[in-house]
Amino acid sequence: MQSQEEKLRLFLEAINSYAEKQRLTILQDMEQYTSAELDKAEAEALREAYVHISRETAEVRASIVRELSAHELQARRRLFEQRAAIEDEVFAEAEKSLKEYAAGERYDDYLTRAAQTAAAKAEGQRVVVRVRPADEGKADLLSGLIPGCAVETDPSIVIGGFTAELTLRGAIIDMTLDSRLAAQREVFRRTSGLTIEE
């Protein structure tokens, strides 16, 4: 049985492959359209009288450039919209998977590892741990792993995990699944190949 991470990785690969195919199709259509419009404009200009060739050619070329710019802008806009839709769909699925994970049996293992990391960084300082309201029942687990911590709820944490505020240092250790998903969105934007190039 595949792990959630493997399923997510495979899902992201499938989405990236689909998006790349869509991008290539749009670029190919633009090239075909550009070529056809240029051929049509040049044929029309050659039929014109010799006296008007330079003037008409300049007008036709200017018109084509404007039209192509408009079509390119429209194609870029469509590609931006498709990219945003794909990204939103991927991350909605990822959030759903993370919420299922946070409702599952292995979630306590994640909280345990995260709490051990936070406890090691706390070095005996007073710590305020903030969890999503649904994790209020995890206070005993976290208190046992981070000695002397106070556990509070934070409605801004939606998916799961916790933040640990080291009160003396004023530092916050963010172990939320929310922030990890947000960080992955930035990685996705940089590495998905869903970019528009000049």
CATH code: domain of residue 174? 3.30.2320.30
pLDDT at 193: 66
Domain match, 170 and 144 both:
yes
Query: How many domains would you assign to the chain?
Result: 2
Domain match, 27 and 98 both:
yes
- Burial-class residue 177 by CB neighbours within 10 Å (0-12, 13-18, 19+): buried
Q: For residue 110, what is the DSSP state?
A: H
Domain match, 10 and 57 both:
yes
Q: Does residue 186 form part of some domain?
A: no
Beta carbons within 8 Å of 18's beta carbon, 6+ residues apart: 86
Q: Please identify every stretch of the chain with a pLDDT value under 70, giving residue numbers as ranges.
A: 1, 45-52, 193-198
Q: Does residue 55 form part of some domain?
A: yes
Q: Does residue 196 form part of some domain?
A: no
Domain match, 94 and 43 both:
yes
pLDDT at 194: 61
pLDDT at 198: 54
Q: Which residue, 48, 68, 102, sits at the end of a domain?
A: 102
Domain match, 95 and 21 both:
yes
Domain match, 112 and 44 both:
no
Domain match, 67 and 97 both:
yes
Domain match, 44 and 78 both:
yes
pLDDT at 134: 95
Domain match, 114 and 150 both:
yes
Q: Which two tokens stand for residue 10?
A: 């495979």
Q: Which residue, 48, 83, 102, sits at the end of a domain?
A: 102
Q: Which two tokens stand for residue 54?
A: 């330079």
Domain match, 22 and 54 both:
yes
Look up the domain containing 139 and give its range.
107-181
Q: Does residue 14 form part of some domain?
A: yes
Q: Does residue 130 form part of some domain?
A: yes
Q: Which residue, 58, 76, 102, sits at the end of a domain?
A: 102
Domain match, 87 and 47 both:
yes
**3-state SS of 44-99?**
HHHHCCHHHHHHHHHHHHHHHHHHHHHHHHHHHHHHHHHHHHHHHHHHHHHHHHHH
pLDDT at 1: 59
Residue range 157-174, pLDDT digits in tens: 999 999 999 988 889 999
Q: Does residue 187 form part of some domain?
A: no
Beta carbons within 8 Å of 142's beta carbon, 6+ residues apart: 111, 115, 129, 131, 149, 151, 162
Q: Does residue 190 form part of some domain?
A: no
Domain match, 91 and 21 both:
yes
Name the 3-class secondary structure at 169. coil
Q: Does residue 188 form part of some domain?
A: no
